């Protein structure tokens, strides 16, 4: 349908339970159209992770509404909602087990071909294949210890194999070098052509070719537009570029 992968925030405010002081998200409104890639940038503590966690209802809005595919997330069956959305969290959550078990997690019926395809897009296939036991290599205790960047790439492959309608990457390429990150983004364009992507990042280079970029500061949207527009008009964006 035409609304597949559409996300709308309407006057969303959010405070963590029991927290005092200003809300973490303040009166945030935004529409992300199906298939768009939207970058979210802002300094540490700006509220980026909090914002995206409201979409799969890891937390609920304090006021306002979020709609996915034109339906209020509060009216979705939570399990169905979460099946549409893959979040690659900032801190990866790989477990002790083989590489293939880790990538297949959440999509138990994935074929080897699907797993290898997702891993290629995530730039993980080559280093996995170079292990003597390949995809059967055990991770963690008694097995191989991956580097931070390799763990992030396996986590991305895990999200991709689920073929979500909405893919949320929460600063999950911070330990991946810029050239590899750029190849992942290029491959993603083809692999996830109709997928709505939210891309949280610290570096401007990670979001500069997104369809739209949101600049978040203290829980508020202080800039919105393309890279070129923000360079001209958004002071916070210019500061992030120079930092």
Q: Is 236 left (phi over 0), alpha (psi -120 to 50) or beta?
A: alpha
Do residues 25 and 2 make contact, with C-beta atoms less than 8 angstroms apart?
no
CB-nearer residue toward ligand DCP: 66 or 115: 66
CB-nearer residue toward ligand DCP: 117 or 181: 181
In whole angstroms, the minimum distance from the beta carbon of 93 to ligand DCP comes to: 16
Residue 227 CA to residue 209 CA, distance in Å, equals 7
In whole angstroms, the minimum distance from the beta carbon of 47 to ligand DCP comes to: 4
CB-nearer residue toward ligand DCP: 140 or 148: 148
In whole angstroms, the minimum distance from the beta carbon of 44 to ligand DCP comes to: 3
In whole angstroms, the minimum distance from the beta carbon of 48 to ligand DCP comes to: 4
How many chain residues interact with ligand DCP (CB under 6 A)? 12
Which residues, at least 6 apart from 2, have a Cβ–Cβ distance to it below 8 Å? 34
Dihedrals φ, ψ of 233, to 5°?
Answer: -110, -15
For the segment 11-70, give every residue that binds ligand DCP (CB under 6 A): 16, 19, 24, 42, 44-50
In whole angstroms, the minimum distance from the beta carbon of 178 to ligand DCP comes to: 18
CB-nearer residue toward ligand DCP: 5 or 42: 42
Q: What is the dihedral of CA 227, 66, 82, 48, to 10 degrees?
A: 40
Q: What angle in degrees, to the nearest 10, is found between the helix axes of 148-161 and 178-191? A: 0
> Does residue 88 belong to the site contacting ligand DCP (CB under 6 A)?
no
In whole angstroms, the minimum distance from the beta carbon of 207 to ligand DCP comes to: 13
Tokens of 40: 């979210």
Which residues, at least 6 apart from 132, have a Cβ–Cβ distance to it below 8 Å? none
CB-nearer residue toward ligand DCP: 19 or 71: 19
CB-nearer residue toward ligand DCP: 13 or 137: 13
For the segment 129-158, give every residue that binds ligand DCP (CB under 6 A): none
What does the DSSP assignment read for 167-235? EEEESTTTTS-HHHHHHHHHHHHHHTTTSEEEEEESSHHHHTTSSEEEEEETTEEEEEE-HHHHHHH-H
Q: Which residues bind ligand DCP (CB under 6 A)?
A: 16, 19, 24, 42, 44-50, 90
């Amino acid at each position: 349908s035409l609304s597949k992968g559409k996300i709308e925030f309407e006057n969303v405010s959010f405070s963590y339970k029991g927290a005092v002081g200003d809300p973490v998200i303040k009166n945030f409104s935004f529409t992300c159209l199906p298939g768009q890639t939207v970058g979210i940038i802002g300094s540490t503590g700006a509220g980026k992770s909090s914002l995206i966690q409201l979409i799969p209802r890891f937390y609920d809005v304090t006021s306002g509404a979020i709609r996915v595919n034109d339906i209020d997330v509060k009216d979705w069956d939570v399990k169905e909602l979460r099946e549409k959305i893959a979040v690659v969290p900032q801190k990866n959550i790989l477990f002790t087990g083989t590489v293939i078990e880790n990538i297949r997690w959440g999509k138990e019926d994935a074929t080897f071909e699907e797993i290898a395809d997702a891993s290629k897009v995530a730039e993980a296939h080559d280093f996995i294949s170079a292990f003597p036991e390949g995809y059967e290599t055990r991770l963690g205790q008694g097995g191989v210890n991956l580097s931070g960047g390799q763990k992030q790439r396996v986590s991305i492959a895990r999200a991709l194999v689920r073929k979500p309608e909405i893919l949320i990457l929460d600063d999950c390429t911070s330990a991946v070098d810029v050239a590899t990150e750029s190849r992942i983004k290029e491959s993603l364009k083809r692999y996830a052509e109709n997928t709505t992507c939210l891309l949280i990042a610290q570096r401007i280079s990670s979001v500069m070719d997104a369809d739209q970029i949101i600049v978040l500061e203290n829980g508020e949207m202080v800039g919105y537009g393309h890279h070129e527009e923000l360079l001209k008009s958004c002071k916070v964006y210019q500061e992030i570029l120079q930092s």
